Amino acid sequence: MSKIRELPAIMTTFLILLLLTSPTIADSSSSEKILKADLIFGPDENLDPAYKYTGWYLREAGIYDTLFALDKDMNLVPSLATGFDQISDTEYKIHLREDVKFHDGTPLNADAVVYSLERVMASSNSRHSEYSFIESVTKDDEFTVTIKTKEPYSPTIASLVDPLVSIVKPDVDLNKTPVGTGPFKFKSYEKGVKLSVTRNDEYWGEKPKLDGADLFFVSDPMTRAMQLEGGDVDIVRGLPQTEVKSIKGKSNLEVLEKETLRENFLYVNMRKAPFDNLSVRQALNHAIDRQEIVDTALEGVGGVPAIGVFSSVNPWSANDELKPYAYDTTKAKELLGQAGITDKDGDGWLDFQGKPFNITIKTYTSRAENKPSAEVIAAQLEKIGIKSGVEVLETGALSSDLSNGNYDLALYSWSTGTTGDPDYFLSKHYESKGAEAKKTGYSNPDVDSWLQKARATFDQKERMNYYTKVQEQIFKESPNIFLFYLNELVGQNKRVKGYEIYPSCEITFLTPDLSLED
């Protein structure tokens, strides 16, 4: 009997302990403003911003700053630098802010800047070739650094926007404990799951309104949408186009939309017949109805039909000089016929070199728009008699296939203006020695020359003339087939205030302006 009488007391104690330890109860009673967000990508086991593209994710989290940055209108503005003096065509003096501290309280100085740049330039860094134009980085005094380039290189200052060259605290284990100067400080990281940050009360700029944030890395777009609708998170990047209408219908949620610098396009394997034939590449351009892709795969809200390599929000775009490829199946068949691709046996399917002409479009799923877009394109190609299919791979496997030439067409999504300077993207994709140009097999001596001349001149009108020629030539030769410029779709609870979609939204997310209403 005594044990029976003790049971209610035991149950009461258990319930009290359960309430005290429940994360939901703890969160609701807390006065701290902690933003919970779903992002698409995140770092792997290495948290060093100079490791591959990890800097992008840590910049998104507000941990690191760079010497210069892009504002919401794509203007190049000082960040940790107050400005620069161009001493000659190959020499720049960078002046640093004198009121900046790293998250551990150590003052920012020229030594940290020299260290941050030189480690990216080291041959051991997988992206060192992107900064091979720099000859030296030297300290003049505590708050002045001189950068000398090997030859005139007009994108020098713009290149300092890339989070790869985030300014870091020397002599700490950045792989595990990021120490930057940004508005938020590193708190914890769970590999592939979550990165948590807290407010930096000594931030040199506008003081953050949030107390911190939990950034979850969720590759599946539908999961991101469901977590927003279920109230598990406050804001979601990369909202699936199919869920926009539903989320707009919720009284407590809203959708933000903006055209960005991100573009989805097809790599064409010019190292493989018949894709080495210009008529075939131009035929494929005419066979693709870009508006239908936007209207169906993107639900009419996910993008804008593309013309050339740069969207019209990019000030370096030459789209006004280009005549878009019209959707014209008759023209497509005519061009294919010129390449010897015709229906030789009357079965309704086109043949090439005595065999059915088949195309496989390879892509990956972490971008919500890729697979449905590839499926629409495959259906469009079948309308003109090309047997087509879609193969979905992991990103690493797809990249390997492209490097090895094991593909026909591959649908990718790229940010075309991370630093604001056109050389960043154009040289990588269309200069003969560019890493991505090697994947398509594209090489044109004229394009190489124009890119080299554009880098060497500091006259912006002259640079634009060269870049216009480049855009016209690659539009004609089509090593890539441009599909659409992506609209960034962000779903958020209406409690979230101050979030703005930057054209460079890939690297700008958690800013001091973000706040949460009660």
**Going along 233-357, which residue ranges are E strands?**
235-237, 253-268, 303-305, 351-352, 355-356
Q: Tokens in use for 116?
A: 């941050």
Residues 220 and 286 in one domain: no
Residues 443 and 511 in one domain: no
394 contacts 430 by C-beta, under 8 angstroms: no
Residues 217 and 278 in one domain: no
**For 22-75, where are the alpha helices, taking DSSP H only?**
23-29, 54-60
Identify the residue whose tokens are 């690297």. 507
Which residues, given as ranges, of the chain have pLDDT below 50?
Answer: 1-29
For residue 214, being part of any structural domain is answered with yes
At 190 the pLDDT is: 96
Count of domains for the chain:
2
Q: Kind of pairing, strands 235-237 and 34-39? A: parallel
d(CA 361, CA 391): 6
At 73 the pLDDT is: 87
- How many Cβ atoms sit within 10 Å of the Cβ of residue 134? 18
399 contacts 264 by C-beta, under 8 angstroms: no
For residue 190, being part of any structural domain is answered with yes
**Amino acid letter at 189?**
Y
Positive or negative, the Cα torsion across 428, 431, 433, 437? positive
Nearest to 78 by CA among 158, 18, 135, 16: 158
For residue 8, being part of any structural domain is answered with no
At 31 the pLDDT is: 83
For residue 327, being part of any structural domain is answered with yes
Positive or negative, the Cα torsion across 255, 259, 261, 264? positive
Residues 338 and 379 in one domain: yes
Residues 505 and 381 in one domain: no
d(CA 256, CA 244): 10
Q: Which domain holds residue 371?
A: 259-487
At 30 the pLDDT is: 61
CATH code of 157's domain? 3.40.190.10
CA distances from 13 to 27, 249, 345 (A): 21, 43, 82
Q: 276: exposed, middle or buried (C-beta count within 10 Å: 0-12, 13-18, 19+)?
A: middle
Q: What is the dihedral of CA 100, 103, 109, 111, to 10 degrees?
A: -160
d(CA 204, CA 208): 11
CATH code of 340's domain? 3.10.105.10
Q: What is the dihedral of CA 99, 103, 105, 108, to 10 degrees?
A: -40
3-state secondary structure of 460: helix
For residue 224, being part of any structural domain is answered with yes
**Amino acid letter at 108?**
L
Residues 306 and 442 in one domain: yes
135 contacts 149 by C-beta, under 8 angstroms: yes
d(CA 101, CA 227): 36
Residues 383 and 315 in one domain: yes
